Structure 1
Amino acid sequence: MISQDGINLAVCVITAHFGDLVSKVCGCLLRRGSLSLQDIVRSTEFSSSQVKNCLLVLIQHNCVQAFCVPRGGAGGATKTVTQYMALFDNILHRMRFSKFLAIVKGDLGGQCETLLQGLLRYGRLTFDQLMVRATSTQSEGSSCNVDALRKNFGKLVHGHYVERCPRPEPFIAPSEEAAPARKRSSKFREEILTLEQQAVIAASLTDAERFSEIPNTGTDTSVTEDKLDVTVGDKRKFEAAELDEDIEATISETEVLWRANFQKFVFCLKKKVCVEKVRSRNGLDAGVVLEAIIESSEQECDSRVYKDIELNGCIHLCVITIRPEFHFLAVRASMDSILEKVRGKPDGISMTLELVRGILEQLDCSSHTEDCNVYYTIELQRIIESCRNVEVESLILARYGKDAFRIFGLLIGKGSPVETDQISDFTLVDKKVTQQVLYNLWKDDYLSMQKVTLEGTGQRKDSFLWKLKKNSAWHLVLNHLYHAALNLNQKITHIVEQEYEVLLSEEKLKQLKKSRMILELSLLKLDDAIMIFHDFSA
């Protein structure tokens, strides 16, 4: 469930990028859920053509997903109705485009960054459209090689930074509630999916489809002997096959839509956060080893959660992730691949096997032997939990003071409830102050309280046990972060509007640009914290 602060932030982002009309349509979908075109028209009081144009903009930029559902009509007839749902996470990703571009530039170079920039700026594009925009951005003195652009685009697809767009309007059949439940394996738990979750699953493509590269139709002078060695009777079949490949490639270039793969970028950003956390806590060598484990993790599917799901009468074994980001709880790699990655890094060239093994033990990696190879597994979610604790404690320190910071730090590390006197003794905080701090945190829904009555020697004494409400606390902190990001976005928008004033002096304009840059950097840092609580969750 998206909080009101999160909805307001998403609407603010859409307003800054596409204007008031589009943001009102998007806000309507965020607040009311999936709606049909007629429902949106009634809610916004816009004309049908205005709503259609707004929806086209949002779909083009991957902020809305359309899907079809059956609905009863007059006389018992069933008709198909298209509904639209807002993709909250994709909207927030628009604040992170600069981070995505920096990742691709560092990994694949400037030309790949230029191609990705076209997809981020213009939304879904065919290969031909992307090439046209890439060539149009070239300076007059520079030459643009189409083959080089095709090669760089292939790098983006191969690296999973770019993917084919999901199905545009998947059909969601009604679930048969009265039907007897199918028998499931004990490792799979029955889960009722919402209509929106079913739409995301139905629209998603397999990995083979998402990252299927466009065949290269350019003329190649190096013809293999296998192609030349054909008999006269097979010549016509061979030419027909070649023609079919050319036609298929042309269709792929002119009809298949591509978009940025946000899952991959969230994967990269989560890896960066984990490595930086380990580096600051355990040293530079530990950061190098952790990065090597993640990069050499052989099978991406080992880090996903799979469940058996029935959709449209078929059983699908699919990843349970409603949001578009890529989630990974743990990664696994063999010692040989870890060493190869470590020694391929500048800071890991001189690291010995014993040093790497010692760091793996220091990071609490579990190990097991498989096919004569030793594999190490590390739970990255524990590192993210540590990052969340730091963020929450800093917020508690700023809002409630040092005494609350010490008390909250104690309760974070305790899994069981703690009595008031014990909290006071452990933290060396006066009992009256402790009681007041605990009451304030309980009132703001950070803590749970349990009253117990102790009896002894003819006396009864009431005691209070306190425990951290982790999910509630994380939700509160995330809402605070949303609200702060909303304020920064509004301030940035206000400064941008001031920059367009004609009568501004040059000195005033420089001051406004400097203020905007400071606010934008602050927003990027604040967004890092938002991702820790929202995008990196399990």
Structure 2
Amino acid sequence: MVTQHGIKLAVQLISSHFGDLVAKVCECLLRKGILTLQEVVRHTKLNPQNVTKCLLVLIQHNCVQAFRMEQQGGFGEASKVLVQYMVLFENILHRMRFPKFLVIVSEELGKECEMVLEGLLQHGRLTLHQIFERANKSNKNEAQDAIRESFIRLVNARYVERCPAHEPFLVPPTEEETTARKRGAKSAKIVEELETIEQRAIAAAAPMEAKRFLVITDTGTDVKGENNGDNSPSVTVGVKRKHGASEMDGELGALEFEEKVTWRPNFEEFVRRLRHKACIANVRSRLDDGSAVVLSSVLEATRTAEKKVKTEHSVPISLNTIYEEVMKSEAGRTMTLDHVRASLVNLGCGKRGTDELYSIDLKNIIELAQNDEVESIVLKRYGKEAYRMFRLLSNTSRLLETDKISEITFVEKKDTAKILYKLWKDEYLQMEKLLLPASRQSHFLLWKVNKNTLWEHVLDEMYHASLNLSQRVAYELEQENEVCLWKTHLLGYFSFELILISLCFFLVNYFGEL
């Protein structure tokens, strides 16, 4: 969801990390959408060489995805294939989360894996040779095998993946898809089912699941994906075996290809881990520690089986599997099977099918956390009376009249109208007027909370706050640098004065002796 302050925040991040020229190209893509090289040059008024370099920097750091698409020519002209560039807004914002990513890896896999990941976060994309070379330079005492092992552990945990294809080819949309999009609201259901160009480009560029986490490190040992019980590939170390001439040639060719394969951080997995942590923390504060332990165990057991990051329900899993996972944690060893079953009931998950499979409603947990966050904002900004009104409308999810809100929340009618109007003005509420010509009162004001527009508004406010904080930090750093510069100049000035004074004393003493 790209808002105006979100665009400004993304441009600020790119400008602070890569300079104003790259930020100008990035802003052009954020505001104009998918563009070709010539269109970017025309909008930014930069020369093609600079635009090309800026796009390469953004691609290197996973902020832009290029793809090719056939474009129909004019009258009497043949169609041609054009390379187009699409900005990845979420990947830009992930740059603010790099410290969190490093903390996750450090706590889960250790400092060695954190060092390897830091190189990928810093450079965006690296080959295996570049990863090993950088690790050796930063830590000369680290053995090659230890670095390789750290890299394999990162791939095993799905924190590192192969980079997507540079310029995948997209088939142009069919006539049915084009007409369905032009109809707009009349065919909203059809439009929702159709993938956007951005989604199609990302899907086409993504490597096959079998190759996404496939690693070949040397001729004697290969690291390859194998299928587990949940049909998810994992990385395991193979065993050395004898090869014939043809097998050796094929393996050498694979290694030569492997040296050209680039790797990058898997942002999806990090976001999934942060999302799981947020859900567990919310359940612990809202319910109890037992429910949090059960939720954590379910998410850990089904982690590799999740098909997308923002999944609404966890993967169905049996009670016995949940209990086995609960017993692995220190906090869950004191829990009985009945305790686990009661915690599942508290989490609101029901059985699926005749096999007693349980699935947890993650969407409901996240919505409750979002409600708590917005309600706390309303409480701090507008006071307790506004908080009670907003909470009433949020839980009711329907239109309520002003007098009814005043009666339920025990607030004076005049004050109720003022508070509701202020919340509506700041886009926290939706207002509708009901006209009644036959009644003494000409109209009634009805209020409700539209959560879809509210989440977008609150998200934009968070982007605005992050932008202000980043600009403040940049200003403080600039002021600190200026102070240090003045200190350097003053020290240099006083040093020069001391040299002159010392020279004068020397001359006075010298001529005095004469």
Which residue is equivalent to 2:445? 464
Aligned CA distance change for structure 1 residues 179 and 258 (closer, same or farther; 3 Å): closer
Q: Distance in 1 between matches of 2:273 and 2:337?
A: 27
Which residue is equivalent to 1:286? 291
Q: RMSD value over aligned CA atoms?
A: 2.7
Q: Distance in 1 between matches of 2:383 and 2:52?
A: 51
Structure number with greater Rg is: 2
- Larger RCO (CA within 8 A; separation ≥ 6): 1
What is the CA distance between 1:30 and its match in structure 2?
A: 0.6
What is the CA distance between 1:426 and its match in structure 2?
A: 1.4
Aligned CA distance change for structure 1 residues 245 and 56 (closer, same or farther; 3 Å): same
Mapped pair 1:249 → 2:255? yes
Q: TM-score, normalised by structure 2?
A: 0.83
Greater helix share, structure number = 2
Q: Distance in 1 between matches of 2:152 and 2:239?
A: 22
SS in 2 for 1:2: coil
What is the CA distance between 1:485 and its match in structure 2?
A: 0.3
Which residue is equivalent to 1:535? none
Q: Distance in 1 between matches of 2:62 and 2:305?
A: 24
Alignment partner for residue 357 of structure 1, among 341, 350, 371?
Answer: 341
What is the CA distance between 1:72 and its match in structure 2?
A: 4.6
Say whether the 8 Å CA contact 1:289–1:356 is kept in structure 2: yes
SS in 2 for 1:258: strand
Say whether the 8 Å CA contact 2:297–2:325 is kept in structure 1: yes
Which residue is equivalent to 1:185? none
Aligned CA distance change for structure 1 residues 180 and 362 (closer, same or farther; 3 Å): closer
User: Letter of the aligned partner of 1:266 in structure 2?
Assistant: V
Say whether the 8 Å CA contact 2:221–2:239 is kept in structure 1: no
Q: Distance in 1 between matches of 2:426 and 2:164?
A: 42
User: Letter of the aligned partner of 1:175 in structure 2?
Assistant: P
Which residue is equivalent to 2:54? 54
Q: Distance in 1 between matches of 2:420 and 2:15?
A: 41
Q: Distance in 1 between matches of 2:239 and 2:202?
A: 43
CA deviations 1:333-360 (Å, max 9, x no partner) are: 2212211221111111111111111111
Which residue is equivalent to 1:330? 313
What is the CA distance between 1:434 and its match in structure 2?
A: 0.8
Runs (4 or more) in structure 1 with deviation over 4 Å come to 72-75, 178-182, 453-456, 458-462
User: Letter of the aligned partner of 1:330 in structure 2?
Assistant: H
Which residue is equivalent to 2:470? 489
Which residue is equivalent to 2:508? none
Say whether the 8 Å CA contact 2:435–2:442 is kept in structure 1: yes
Q: TM-score, normalised by structure 1?
A: 0.80
May I ask how many residue pairs the two structures share in their alignment?
Answer: 461
Counterparts of 1:210-221 in structure 2 under 5 Å?
210-218=212-220
What is the CA distance between 1:505 and its match in structure 2?
A: 5.7
Alignment partner for residue 409 of structure 1, among 378, 384, 391?
Answer: 391
Aligned CA distance change for structure 1 residues 45 and 179 (closer, same or farther; 3 Å): closer
Say whether the 8 Å CA contact 2:431–2:446 is kept in structure 1: yes
Which residue is equivalent to 1:314? none
Which residue is equivalent to 2:235? none
Q: Distance in 1 between matches of 2:467 and 2:57?
A: 22
Q: Distance in 2 between matches of 1:173 and 1:59?
A: 22
Alignment partner for residue 206 of structure 1, among 205, 208, 221?
Answer: 208
Counterparts of 1:61-460 in structure 2 under 5 Å?
61-72=61-72, 76-139=77-140, 142=141, 144-177=142-175, 191-218=193-220, 238-252=244-258, 254-297=259-302, 300-301=305-306, 304=308, 326-331=309-314, 332-368=316-352, 370-371=354-355, 374-452=356-434
Q: Distance in 1 between matches of 2:352 and 2:174?
A: 44
What is the CA distance between 1:450 and its match in structure 2?
A: 3.4
What is the CA distance between 1:448 and its match in structure 2?
A: 2.6
What is the CA distance between 1:461 and its match in structure 2?
A: 7.0
CA deviations 1:129-173 (Å, max 9, x no partner) are: 11111111104xx2x222222222111112111111111111223
SS in 2 for 1:346: coil
Q: Distance in 1 between matches of 2:385 and 2:371?
A: 17
Aligned CA distance change for structure 1 residues 176 and 219 (closer, same or farther; 3 Å): closer
Gaps of 5+ in 1: 183-187, 229-236, 305-325, 507-538
Which residue is equivalent to 1:22? 22
CA deviations 1:361-403 (Å, max 9, x no partner) are: 11111123555xx321111111111111122112222332222
Further displaced range: 13-22 or 198-207 = 198-207
Say whether the 8 Å CA contact 2:282–2:365 is kept in structure 1: yes
What is the CA distance between 1:16 and its match in structure 2?
A: 1.0
Say whether the 8 Å CA contact 1:298–1:333 is kept in structure 2: no
The percent identity for this pair of structures is 45
Q: Distance in 1 between matches of 2:440 and 2:476?
A: 66
Mapped pair 1:498 → 2:479? yes
